[in-house]
Amino acid sequence: MRGRFGLGAALAVSACALVVAACGGSSSSSSSSGGGGGSSSSSGGVTVTGAKVIDPSSMNSPPKGTIHYCQGKDTTGAGKAVVSEFNQKYAAQGYKVVLTEFPASADQQRAQFIQRQQAKSNDCDVFSSDVIWTAEFASQKWLYDMTPYVNQSRTKYIPAPLETVHYAGKYWGVPETSDAAFLFYRTDKGTAPPATWQAVYQQAAKQGGIVYQGAPYEGLTCDFLELGFAAGGQVLDSSGKKSAFNSPANVKALQLMVDGIKNGSAPKAVTTYMEPQTDQAWTSGKYGYMRNWTYAYAADQTGGSKVKGKYAVAPLPTFEGAGKAGILGGHNSVISVYTKNPGLALKYADFTASPEWQKISLEKYSSAAILNATYDDAGVKKAIPYAAELKQALGQAKARPVSPVYPQISQAIYKNVNDALAGRASPADAIKKASDQINSALSTF
């Protein structure tokens, strides 16, 4: 393992530098407890009024029954496991959770949830909401205000994942898993992980290639911004109201990725890869490097993997002549305002954030725990040799812009970046077009 976190720390700007409105302010509202009461909250000029507020004590003895938990495709089995642990624990008391799986693509998960919320359906009592959707869903008044619950034990959470559920001065869910990406490299090929992205691409050309998520969806926004931010690029300016995306740094980062495909450092097929296809490619044994989230460390040892026991992970490298950057990922348990059993929904959300489940989730599924204490567990340290680096990566990772129109901002990035990767646009044109589209998205609210 390398330890090159020093530079990253210096470069990591706080989420506040990138956000539209989510930092700094505190709520001016008082929240009523009891489920039906309304709350109003504001921060940096953004206000969410009239939200239903969770009653923390409602989880102690909620009405018996079944609730549905919706999440993305359960490719690792972690979703089935958490539901089954909960059901075993509470079956005798008459509580049951059923898992509903949405597609693997983050964008499609969002679309599925939105469809249900627009129909005021209770299909998803609890939703595993990507960290980037808090602002949008809270603004739409689709989520319970969970502030009274979160405030009961705020310090047990790692600050970065907790911040992702914070918007307009309120907490809109419970952190469930955090996320950070790593450079996966083959230990059996006998080379140390390169120190720069440029060197990774050079090495990859000689070692079968690098695979990553290059399909036009949220994952590509993350993969691109890791290089773009490291090169010194930004998405929004400091006001959060204007695009700062069209910069030489972002063009340089995209050029490196485009050249990588042109010269065979990355297969052209990456332009169609999301996480599952990336894992498939990596576990075929053909490739020397992979960019993927922490879950792949455990997942890619399983099944018919040809790289079992043959890889390790390293922190993401530096961009030559500039810095390094990671993107903060992860998911929060949010409770739909259309649930008929908010108490049971909270009981389940509370379980997913419990020390008991967080340990299993990190130890067995290499998912980034959201509790400080989990990383000190001896079993965890043994199973996940990079546990300390993972925790450090979460603290240093940059947030994606916080905005109710974030999905449109991201779409502008991933569509145009994908066009460049596929050879349909030059890096300079793609970055400029994305920037113009980001400005259009920002002008709509």
Nearest approach, Cβ of 224 to ligand GLC (angstroms)?
A: 12
Binding of residue 223 to ligand GLC (CB under 6 A) = no
Token readout for 83 is: 């539901």
- Which is closer to ligand GLC, CB of 55 or CB of 226? 226
Count of residues near ligand GLC by CB under 6 A? 11
Binding of residue 211 to ligand GLC (CB under 6 A) = no
CA atoms within 13 A on the CB side of 82: 33
Q: Calculate ∠ Cα 310-311-316, nearest 5°.
A: 170
In this chain, which of 54, 82, 131, 298 binds ligand GLC, going by CB under 6 A?
131
In this chain, which of 95, 137, 293, 319 binds ligand GLC, going by CB under 6 A?
293
Q: Which residue is nearest to ligand GLC (CB)?
A: 329
Binding of residue 329 to ligand GLC (CB under 6 A) = yes
Binding of residue 106 to ligand GLC (CB under 6 A) = yes
Options 53-61, 215-223, 334-342, 369-377: segment touching ligand GLC (CB under 6 A): 215-223
User: Environment class of residue 309 by beta-carbon count within 10 Å: exposed (0-12), middle (13-18) or buried (19+)?
Assistant: exposed
Binders in 179-198 for ligand GLC, by CB under 6 A: 179
In this chain, which of 130, 226, 377, 389 binds ligand GLC, going by CB under 6 A?
130
Interface characters, 243-282, with ligand GLC (x: CB under 6 A): ----------------------------------------
Residues with Cβ < 8 Å from 56, sequence gap 6 or more? Answer: 33, 148, 149, 152, 346
Binders in 332-371 for ligand GLC, by CB under 6 A: none
**Within 10 Å of residue 225's Cβ, how many Cβ atoms?**
25
- Which is closer to ligand GLC, CB of 41 or CB of 367? 367
DSSP secondary structure letter of residue 425: S
What strands lie across the sheet with 65-71, from one edge to the other?
95-101, 65-71, 126-130, 329-335, 174-179
Q: What sign does the CA torsion over 294, 210, 396, 111 have?
A: negative
Q: What sign does the CA torsion over 164, 168, 169, 171 have?
A: negative
Helix 355-365 / helix 342-352 crossing angle, nearest 10 deg: 50
Nearest approach, Cβ of 367 to ligand GLC (angstroms)?
A: 9
φ, ψ at 401 (rounded to 5°): -55, 135
Binding of residue 330 to ligand GLC (CB under 6 A) = yes
- Which is closer to ligand GLC, CB of 95 or CB of 414? 414
Contact of 67 with 37, CB cutoff 8 Å: no
- Which is closer to ligand GLC, CB of 179 or CB of 279? 179
Nearest one of 243, 360, 59 to 369, comparing CA atoms: 360
Alpha carbon of 182 to those of 136, 164, 240, 329: distances in Å? 28, 20, 28, 12
Nearest approach, Cβ of 130 to ligand GLC (angstroms)?
A: 5
Q: Which helix (H) or strand (E) segment is 296 a member of? A: helix 295-299
Per DSSP, the three-state class of 77 is coil
Nearest approach, Cβ of 57 to ligand GLC (angstroms)?
A: 31
Contact of 434 with 417, CB cutoff 8 Å: yes
Nearest approach, Cβ of 385 to ligand GLC (angstroms)?
A: 21
Binders in 8-47 for ligand GLC, by CB under 6 A: none
In this chain, which of 183, 222, 387, 413 binds ligand GLC, going by CB under 6 A?
222
SS3 content of the chain, % helix, strand, coil (to 5): 45, 20, 35
In this chain, which of 218, 279, 377, 419 binds ligand GLC, going by CB under 6 A?
218
Nearest approach, Cβ of 61 to ligand GLC (angstroms)?
A: 33
Options 35-43, 130-138, 149-157, 379-387: segment touching ligand GLC (CB under 6 A): 130-138
Nearest approach, Cβ of 218 to ligand GLC (angstroms)?
A: 4
- Which is closer to ligand GLC, CB of 291 or CB of 347? 291
Tell me how far apart the alpha carbons of residues 84 and 76 are, in angstroms, rounded to a whole number: 14
- Please report, as ranges, the residues that interact with ligand GLC according to CB under 6 A: 106, 130-132, 179, 218-219, 222, 293, 329-330
